[in-house]
Amino acid sequence: MQGQKSWNGVAILCKGKEPLLTHGGLLGDPDDTHSRYVEVAIDGIVIGCLYLPNGNPAPGPKFDYELGWLERLSTQADELLALNVPVILAGECNVIPVELDVYRPERWIDDELFQI
């Protein structure tokens, strides 16, 4: 479990097994204290749980932070793929990739969730 009081937090629960913590956050930004990523290994599978930042309003500092966070997540994903083991990345993505992913997409056109 990786969390912050009253704000961000992620967790991975395993029934009957003890997961091995491999990362308690994303690497690449020592000043990032947000609890948005945790990663464990269990039975030969790597599981990463994420809570992607909401970058509203865009443009702005929150949006810049989100883009940087996504870049670090992409780097982590590349490293995980290079391990050649099963990997699961799951969690709250705060992204709307296509109109089909949201009810009434016209309401979201100007939202940064729709701009990534």
Is 6 a residue whose pLDDT tops 80? no
| Predicted TM-score of the model (pTM) | 0.85
* pLDDT tens figures, 21-45: 999 889 898 888 888 999 999 999 9
CA angle, residues 87, 31, 6, in degrees to nearest 5: 75
Is 2 a residue whose pLDDT tops 70? no
Bridge partner list, 70: none
Domains in the chain, number: 1
pLDDT at residue 111, rounded to an integer: 85
Task: State the Cα–Cα distance between residues 13 and 40, nearest whole angstrom.
Answer: 10
Is 113 a residue whose pLDDT tops 90? no
What is the residue range of 52's domain?
Answer: 2-114
For residues 29 and 68, is the Cβ–Cβ distance under 8 A? Answer: yes
CATH code for the domain of 100: 3.60.10.10
Spatial neighbors of 49 by CB under 8 A, at least 6 apart, are 10, 11, 12, 37, 38, 39, 90, 91
pLDDT at residue 71, rounded to an integer: 95
Please give the average per-residue pLDDT across 11-23, as a whole number.
91
